[in-house]
């Protein structure tokens, strides 16, 4: 597969001719809702034999060709965007003309029960696990109900393992520190919740449980560890897996309610997989920036692998972007966009997509009705850059939040760079 960046005057027809593929192949492979509405700076995936490579410091085209066992001319031909004198820079994504052996990784996708079934069916071939969000816990240890039977059945039919997600969220959607406190500080309630989780998972046919407790009070850290340990014991007895979702920390002493109760070393010991939520640097009420900037993700992973076995770690990856109004005003929310909507909006407003080499993420600016905006989102190059960290740190895989909006290009990049493990 080759990543091609759209230039002025490009169409799907001209791109298809350039690479010797049909327009139909190009449209099917990319899965864009409006393939005729290309935007300068947009990425198009070319379905050819090959893979992608993130340039490291000190590398040249010659050294890359030598290490991959290919000719320099073949490497140049696979990268039509490159022009003499063929200077490349660290972090740049280039195309390799042949596919080498690929490592096998786990791919998890979070989904809400209302996910469009066509979207789900198109996504399942790229997943190991489908994590269905979510069973809310109550302060007495009972669980809220989820209409998940259809998703469990569809996942299993698609050879994807369904995972039961348990959260301390409230009916309005936010995470409740108080609910977690009520449960974690009462041994009887903790045991009631564990029993309810295990019984529900077995009754519904889940293959594992993902615990996503967030904004736990720092003083409840040890009780949370105790709860996870007891839950793990019961899950093991019933042949079920345990994963946990944790905040993106860069040190053991990082301050804040989001971080302090998440004990990286303990999660690495007790859980089968640990999902690190490496996104939301750019967030709904925050200032404009990439949602998952490469340097910040790398900092988190650099710390994480010192506490958690790397093969247990799944790197979180966002499947969305934000549209901020400028100038930024603290407390004024951005507008959340699917990646495909970010692309169609760029076309509607006549924007050109740019790519931040520092954040390794796409963005564009536009004005509408006298108001300035900036959009940060994801594209194949940003996803490929972060996926290179999965290799660099020998991680177990990646986890998408969420798969409710289909973004086929992102899934294709994962599939091109890795083999995807199937456990059922």
Side-chain half-sphere CA neighbours of 220 within 13 A: 23
Residue 65 three-state SS: helix
Percent of the chain with pLDDT strictly greater than 90: 85
Mean pLDDT of 171-192: 96
pTM of the full structure: 0.91
Topology at the third CATH level for domain 2-96: Membrane-bound Lytic Murein Transglycosylase D; Chain A (3.10.350)
In this structure, are strands 354-356 and 361-368 parallel, antiparallel, or unpaired? antiparallel
Which one of the listed residues 25, 36, 56, 214 is annotated catalytic? Answer: 214
Rounded distance between C-alpha atoms, residue 50 and residue 415, angstroms: 12
104-319+379-420 carries CATH number 3.90.1150.10: no
The CATH architecture to which 324-376 belongs is Roll (3.10)
Integer CA distances (angstroms), 328 to 127, 272, 324, 371, 376, in order: 37, 41, 7, 11, 14
What is the per-residue pLDDT for 100? Answer: 55
Task: Give Rg (Cα) of the chain.
Answer: 22
What is the per-residue pLDDT for 172? Answer: 82
Residues 244-272: tens digit of each pLDDT:
999 999 999 999 999 999 999 999 999 99
Whether residue 352 lies in the annotated active site? no
In the chain, what are the domain boundaries?
2-96, 104-319+379-420, 324-376
Omega before 402 within 30 of 0, i.e. cis: yes
Whether the pLDDT of residue 57 is over 70: the answer is yes
Residues 74-98: tens digit of each pLDDT:
888 888 888 888 899 988 888 887 6
């Amino acid at each position: 597969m080759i990543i091609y960046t759209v230039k002025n005057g490009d169409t799907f027809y001209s791109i298809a001719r350039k690479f010797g593929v049909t327009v139909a192949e190009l449209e099917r492979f990319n899965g864009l809702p409006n393939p005729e509405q290309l935007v300068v700076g947009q990425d198009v995936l070319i379905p050819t034999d090959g893979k992608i490579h993130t340039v490291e410091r000190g590398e040249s085209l010659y050294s890359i060709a030598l290490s991959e066992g290919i000719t320099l001319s073949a490497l140049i031909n696979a990268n039509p965007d490159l022009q003499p004198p063929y200077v490349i820079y660290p972090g740049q994504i280039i195309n390799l003309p042949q596919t080498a052996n690929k490592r096998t990784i786990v791919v998890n996708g979070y989904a809400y029960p209302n996910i469009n079934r066509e979207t789900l069916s198109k996504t399942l071939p790229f997943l190991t696990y489908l994590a269905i969000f979510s069973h809310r816990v109550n302060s007495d240890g009972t669980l809220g109900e989820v209409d998940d039977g259809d998703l469990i059945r569809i996942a299993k039919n698609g050879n994807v393992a369904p995972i039961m997600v348990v959260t301390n969220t409230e009916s309005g959607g936010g995470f409740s520190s108080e609910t977690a406190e009520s449960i974690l500080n009462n041994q009887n309630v903790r045991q009631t919740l564990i029993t309810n989780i295990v019984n529900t998972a077995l009754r519904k046919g889940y293959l594992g449980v993902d615990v996503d407790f967030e904004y736990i009070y720092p003083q409840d850290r040890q009780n949370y560890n105790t709860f996870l340990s007891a839950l793990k014991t019961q899950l093991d007895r019933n042949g079920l897996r345990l994963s946990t979702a944790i905040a993106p920390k860069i040190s053991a002493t990082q301050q804040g309610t989001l971080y302090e109760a998440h004990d990286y070393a303990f999660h690495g010991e007790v859980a089968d997989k640990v999902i690190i939520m490496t996104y939301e640097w750019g967030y709904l009420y925050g200032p404009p920036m990439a949602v998952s900037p490469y340097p910040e993700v790398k900092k988190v992973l650099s710390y994480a692998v010192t506490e958690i076995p790397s093969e247990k770690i799944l790197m979180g990856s966002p499947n969305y972007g934000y549209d901020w109004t400028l100038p930024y005003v603290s407390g004024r929310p951005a507008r959340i966009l699917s990646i495909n909507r970010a692309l169609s909006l760029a076309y509607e407003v006549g924007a050109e997509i740019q790519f931040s080499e520092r954040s390794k993420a796409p963005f564009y600016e536009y004005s509408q009705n006298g108001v300035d905006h900036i959009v940060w989102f994801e594209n194949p190059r940003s996803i490929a850059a972060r996926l290179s960290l999965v290799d660099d740190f020998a991680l177990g895989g990646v986890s998408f939040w969420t798969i409710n909006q289909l973004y086929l290009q992102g899934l294709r990049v994962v599939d091109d760079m890795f083999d995807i493990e199937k456990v059922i």
